[in-house]
Structure 1
Amino acid sequence: MAITILFLGPLRDLATSDSIAVDAPLDWAGLIAAVPDAVASELRGERVNIACAGRVLADKTTLAAVDGDEIALLPPVSGG
């Protein structure tokens, strides 16, 4: 089985894809290595959050995804 990484909003444009599948398990270092460099650069900043298996992580470096999990990369939201 695999883990699905979803690229949302402007991160989708940077990744040039809606999603990718990677082998499980996946931690923070593995996530950074799995995504395109432009996305990895954004992930290292404070403005992008990560949800794993439906839960937004308070500390994204604690990512511990397992088989079947879906990781959503959440860019900052704008609007009024």
Structure 2
Amino acid sequence: MKARYFASVRERIGLAEEEVAPPSEVSTVGELIAWLCGRGEGYALALADAAKVRVALDQTHARLDSPIGQAREVAFFPPMTGG
């Protein structure tokens, strides 16, 4: 699965995108975030508050309890603010 990182998430992780292969027990967006956080400090800092990070699976917004299924792409966005 291709993981894409945007804005401050990208800056903290240090990558715009990468191929990831989570273990089979990772089945939801929340579990995927937890797994990514275990990959290093940058991931942990970028995704620390999972409830505020926005996620899209195959370009469709997803919740933390959404199953990742056979998604080919997951995108992570920082919280949005208006102005």
Same fold (TM over 0.5): yes
SS in 2 for 1:17: coil
Bigger drift between 20-29 and 42-51 goes to 20-29
Which of the numbers 53, 58, 61 marks the counterpart of 1:53? 58
- Which structure 1 segments of 5+ residues have no match? none
- Normalising by the residue count of structure 2, what TM-score does the alignment of the two structures yield? 0.67
What TM-score does the superposition give when structure 1 sets the normalisation length?
0.69
Structure 2 counterpart of 1:29, one-letter code: E
Query: In the alignment, which residue of structure 1 is the partner of 2:66?
Result: 62
Runs of 4 or more consecutive aligned structure 1 residues displaced over 4 Å after TM superposition: none
The letter of the residue matching 2:78 is P
Q: In structure 2, what is the Cα distance between the partners aligned to 1:4 and 1:72?
A: 8
> 1: CA distance between counterparts of 2:33 and 2:53?
13
Task: Look up the equivalent residue of 2:70 and give its one-letter code.
Answer: V
RMSD between aligned alpha carbons? 2.5
How many pairs align? 76
Cα distance in 1 between the residues matched to 2:74 and 2:2? 6
Percent identity of paired positions between Structure 1 and Structure 2:
16
